[in-house]
Amino acid sequence: MYKIAIVGASTLLGKELKEALTESSLATASFTLFDEEEGLGQLDQLGDEVTFVQAVSGESFEHVDFTFFCGTETMTRKYWREALRAGSTVLDLSGALDQEPGVLVRSPWVGEQDVAADLFTPAVVPAHPAALALALLMERLQQTAPVREAAATVMLPASEFGRAAMDELHQQTVNLLSFQSIPRETFDAQLAYNLLSGFGENSKVRMGAMDARIRRQYASLAGRRLSVLAIQTISAPVFHGHTFSIFAELERPVDLSALEDALSGDHVDLVLEDTDSPSNLSATGQNDVLVRLRLEPGTRNANESARVWLWAASDNLRLFAQNAVECALDLRRLRPQGTVQ
């Protein structure tokens, strides 16, 4: 039996990860939940097992096969080497380790990647869900023709920045409706009823860091196989779900049916009707990226074009957790007996 530790278990992402693990073939593992002070002592249930959130320490990782870091970057940096020294396979969902030497950004959902994880890999970073969704869609487009150029605008929800960000968006919305001043402790800006490319000078969350993380991790997934993608991130006044506006120009015109066939498949749900447009609401709880395809208007042949638009949506926490579980399942080959090697 595998032993799994979740560090940051009381975070939004930690809770989503627990659910994804209990729905996977790792559900029979023994789980230990860790967090910082705010989550300590909370009772939780994984499958039929009732457990509680414990304080994390340097000795927490003995005999642990997989350690998922879902909390703050600071907590990950403090403890990940302790987990590594204990022989645990480290999976970082916090964004702290993707620039560490030897650490690999991964998703089994995207085709062959340049370097495979082995016993000398210090940690694996399950790709950020926005980077993963973009890589999935660009990979599918390239099956029809080489991509000459492409650009994407990614709209990020408040849940991307944690529970405090969601609470502040909620309170801003309520206060504005009652003509009261709004709280700004987290964003140092008005996010409610607003779109932002950055937050205030005293913001506790960093839009620029998230933008850079998505760019880096898309580049890691793309390697030399996928085209360069210009990416802009926008903070949207929604609680949950990524949405994407993507433009791509292909090297040659491609038939609409060929594009639809290429986009359809595992982890991508092609929406064919305008009345069923992908949205952050329709994506909630879905394991797939929802996508609507449009050809650039004004082309001579209405059913063929080299210029295409994609409108896509995904459940950011769900996609992240599912990919993390898939990464762990892929890494089982390095510890086939479920014991620390």
Domain ranges (residues) in the chain: 3-126+321-334, 131-316
- Is residue 118 pLDDT above 70, yes or no? yes
Residue 153, pLDDT above cutoff 70: yes
**Dihedral class, residue 14 (left if φ above 0, else alpha if ψ from -120 to 50, else beta):** alpha
Q: What is the CATH number of domain 131-316?
A: 3.30.360.10
Between CA 332 and CA 152 the distance in angstroms is: 34
Give pLDDT, residue 279: 97
For residues 292-315, give the mean pLDDT.
89
Work out the burial of residue 273: count CB atoms within 10 Å of its CB; fewer than 13 is exposed, 13-18 middle, 19 or more buried.
exposed
Please spell the DSSP secondary structure of 233-250, one letter per residue: EEE-S-SS-EEEEEEEEE
- Give the rounded percent of residues in the chain with a pLDDT score beyond 90: 83
Q: What are phi and psi of 157, to 5 degrees?
A: -85, 170
Mean pLDDT of the chain: 93
Domain 3-126+321-334 homologous superfamily, CATH: NAD(P)-binding Rossmann-like Domain (3.40.50.720)
In this structure, what are the phi and psi dihedrals at residue 244, rounded to the nearest 5 degrees? -135, 135
Instruction: Indicate the range of 186-190, 199-203, 216-220, 328-332 predicted with least confidence.
Output: 328-332
Read off the pTM.
0.94
Plot region of 102 (φ>0 → left; ψ -120 to 50 → alpha; else → beta): left
Average pLDDT over residues 203-228: 95
pLDDT (0 to 100) of residue 214:
98
- Residues whose CB falls within 8 Å of the CB of residue 213, separated by 6 or more in sequence, listed in order: 95, 98, 128, 131
CA 213 to chain centre: 11
One fold for 3-126+321-334 and 131-316:
no
Check residue 41 and give its pLDDT. Answer: 67
The whole-number pLDDT of residue 116 equals: 78
User: Residue 272: is its pLDDT beyond 80?
Assistant: yes
Token representation of residue 152: 């994407």
For residue 341, the model assigns a pLDDT of 46
The distance of Cα 141 from the centroid of its chain, to the nearest Å, equals 21
